[in-house]
């Protein structure tokens, strides 16, 4: 049975590729930071303001989560700021209706346990790029004194009191580090999180919490120390989100893919050190024109290179698909190893359709660069794969169509307009009749 329900998600991009990009583009606030700041605002019995908030579907989902918990929220999209009044929370239940759609919303678990001493949060969802492990979150909360159990797709955590402890993760986990850091803000005594994630978004969250009145040291290193404070010590805060390093890497890739030249503004270069280093290894030209602006260019075919995705400060998994797309037309043979997510090579089959020569062996991809890609119809399989296919279409000869844009909308604000500002010939249009010939029940995504 075919469904023909039209939603915003059922739109497609049409891109005419093969033209060098030029111009300037400004990066927005970091998706992976702002969602956690929104959750952290639940800790405080006061009003907080978050600035530099990107207009994304993931932000809308997190707003729904906060409202469900009883927070009063106002989102000024024009001026890009959120006001969150968490003075009186009315629920500790974050339902499957929202959390299953976006894994980042699972981080309400930590602040709810910290403040309310109880949380009932659905297991995380989002892009299907691999297993969503919650054992680190649960073990960390148990160490703080929580009783945790899985109940029909929910994590139910409850404690009479939280007491700081030493918690060591087997491997660095961004989500678990964030949840335990937030939960321990109001715990008695000192909590040491060892083998903690070190991402810039972790640092941003810690800075937000410190501005709110928390006592946190070591964020950005492998050991984070949280000294518990009282509820009365916390107060509302006004805070600006850091720029999105993955969006910056996406536009860097797009410019290089077209052998163009452009300036990327509102970027923190030190957040992209290893990615920039790999691009330079390939033959890209990158220079700092201002403290927060980079000029990126390429005037020839890039060279092959190898990389392995690793937790920060290693090569980011969120830029793996974009780098692989660049390597698909590089001079020579490259090897990409994905060490973090078992399903993060789903874009390979779409790149094949565009003429890429890629062979997959378990978590390794061997890429033999071709002269050029050829435009065709493809569909995004997850957020970053979708962005990578846009870059592939920009570098390809001819016209490409990219479907399933709801993935891309999760993490890229005004993506079409920003690409057009760099000279990309791109339009976002509704599906036409022939698109529904292959759209079955499983592919329809219903909007809110």
Distance, CA of 107 to CA of 128 (rounded, Å): 18
Out of 240, 273, 296, a domain closes at: 240
Q: What is the predicted pLDDT for the residue at 9? A: 54
**Where does residue 374 rank: exposed (0-12), middle (13-18), buried (19+ CB within 10 A)?**
middle
What pLDDT, in 10s, does the model give residues 201-231? 999 999 999 999 999 999 999 999 999 999 9
Catalytic site residues? 127
Residues 375, 413, single domain; the answer is yes
251 and 340 together in one domain? yes
Beta strand extents in 27-108 (DSSP E only) = 47-51, 72-76, 81-85, 93-94
Distance (Å, whole) CA 333 – CA 369: 6
Residues 6+ apart with CB under 8 A from 144: 113, 159, 162, 163, 164, 165, 167, 180, 183, 184, 187, 191
Q: Look at residues 198, 213, 240 and tell me which one is the last residue of a structural domain.
A: 240
SS3 assignment, position 13: strand
Positions of the chain with pLDDT lower than 70, given as ranges: 1-9, 125-133, 433-448
Which domain-ending residue is among 240, 262, 295? 240
Question: Which pLDDT does position 422 carry in this prediction?
Answer: 98
Residues 73 and 171 in one domain: yes
225 and 321 housed in the same domain: no
pLDDT on residue 128: 44
Summarised one tens digit per residue, pLDDT across range 163-180 is 999 999 999 999 999 999
pLDDT score at 152: 87
CA pair distance 65, 130, nearest whole angstrom:
23
Q: Strand 261-265 to strand 22-26: parallel, antiparallel, or no bridges (unpaired)?
A: parallel
State residue 125's pLDDT score.
58
Cα-only R_g, the chain: 22
- Strands (E) across 344-421 are located at 357-361, 364-368, 377-379, 398-403
Q: Is residue 170 part of a domain?
A: yes
Tokens (6 digits) for 193: 């999180």
Q: What is the pLDDT of residue 432?
A: 80
- The number of distinct structural domains making up the chain is 2
């Amino acid at each position: 049975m075919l469904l023909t329900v039209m939603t915003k998600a059922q739109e497609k991009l049409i891109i005419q590729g093969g033209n060098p990009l030029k111009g300037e583009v400004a990066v927005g606030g970091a998706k992976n930071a702002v969602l956690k700041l929104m959750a952290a605002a639940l800790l405080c019995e006061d009003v907080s303001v978050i600035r530099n908030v990107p207009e994304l579907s993931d932000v809308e989902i997190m707003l729904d989560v906060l409202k469900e918990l009883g927070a009063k929220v106002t989102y000024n999209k024009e001026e890009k700021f959120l006001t969150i009044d968490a003075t009186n929370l009315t629920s500790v239940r974050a339902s499957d209706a929202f959390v299953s759609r976006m894994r980042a919303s699972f981080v309400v678990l930590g602040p709810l346990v910290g403040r309310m001493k109880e949380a009932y949060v659905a297991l995380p969802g989002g892009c299907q790029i691999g297993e969503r492990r919650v054992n680190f979150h649960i073990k960390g909360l148990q160490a703080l004194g929580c009783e945790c159990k899985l109940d029909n797709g929910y994590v139910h955590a409850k404690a009479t009191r939280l007491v700081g402890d030493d918690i060591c993760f087997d491997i660095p986990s961004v989500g678990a580090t964030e949840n335990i850091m937030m939960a321990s803000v109001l715990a008695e005594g000192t909590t040491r999180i060892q083998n903690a994630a070190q991402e810039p978004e972790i640092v941003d969250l810690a800075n937000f919490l410190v501005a709110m009145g928390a006592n946190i040291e070591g964020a950005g290193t492998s050991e984070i120390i949280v000294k518990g404070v009282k509820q009365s010590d916390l107060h509302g805060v006004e805070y600006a989100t850091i720029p999105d390093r993955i969006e910056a890497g996406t536009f860097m890739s797009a410019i290089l893919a077209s052998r163009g030249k452009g300036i990327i503004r509102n970027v923190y270069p030190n957040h992209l050190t290893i990615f920039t280093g790999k691009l330079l290894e390939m033959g890209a030209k990158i220079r700092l024109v201002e403290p927060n602006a980079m000029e990126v260019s390429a005037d020839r075919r890039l060279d092959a290179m190898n990389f392995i995705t690793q937790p920060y400060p290693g090569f980011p998994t969120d830029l793996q698909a974009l780098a692989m797309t660049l390597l698909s037309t590089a001079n020579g043979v490259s090897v990409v190893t994905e060490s973090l997510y078992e399903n993060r090579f789903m874009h390979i089959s779409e790149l094949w359709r565009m003429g890429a020569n890629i062979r997959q062996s378990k978590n390794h991809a061997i890429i033999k660069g071709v002269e050029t890609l050829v435009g065709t119809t493809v569909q995004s399989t997850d957020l970053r794969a979708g962005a990578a296919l846009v870059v592939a279409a920009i570098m390809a000869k001819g016209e490409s169509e990219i479907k399933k844009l709801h993935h891309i909308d999760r993490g890229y604000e005004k993506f079409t307009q920003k690409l057009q500002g760099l000279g990309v010939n791109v339009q976002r249009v509704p599906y036409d009749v022939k698109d529904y010939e292959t759209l079955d029940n499983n592919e329809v995504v219903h909007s809110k």
